[in-house]
Structure 1
């Protein structure tokens, strides 16, 4: 079997991009009702959800581009931890029953990106290569 380690930096970039675009979609749904309104989100949004949606859109865009990835991922990971404990955990212990699986997964994928970095397909990687 070929050595798959050579593909790790590319697959890391793919994980970063896909996770960030999915994360960004939640913010776009809250702020702009694109591609549809966020199910269950009040209209107008309270300030805390407006702040969360802004983090999702801006942080998601930065992570997708791989620009300031570690900082953006740290902020987004923290937001997802807070979202889980504020919105999902009070609904019950089990994530499959309280609807918190996505929040947990986003939290830990972004936490991983804080330590792993953006991968080779990123603006951060391009900037590092400049003299």
Structure 2
């Protein structure tokens, strides 16, 4: 196994099942993906004000980026999420759970006052261990 995701017994378990404390990569190249926002093919914001739709667009972009490198969400070891309002995390989390069906990666989620596009509610970046 080249990636071991888990929670050491030496620290308290995460308060929910949406993330793991550690991801230990034993071999293979790493893929670092810049933060993605919900831009469509024309560079326009998809669904201003709709966190669920923006989350779906972002995860579709991430899925295509991973696939271009022979990887999938099971290879993601870290995810960083930037929300303009933490009260939106439930809508985001529902979409996110559709993509991470195995042990969840390590994770950081923070609220930020704004993102580089004024209609963006969410930006997501990932790190994956490429097969």
The TM-score normalised by the length of structure 2 is 0.26
Report which of the two structures shows the higher radius of gyration computed on alpha carbons. 1
Higher strand share: 2
Higher helix share: 1
The TM-score normalised by the length of structure 1 is 0.26
- Structure with more relative contact order (C-alpha pairs < 8 Å, separation 6 or more): 2
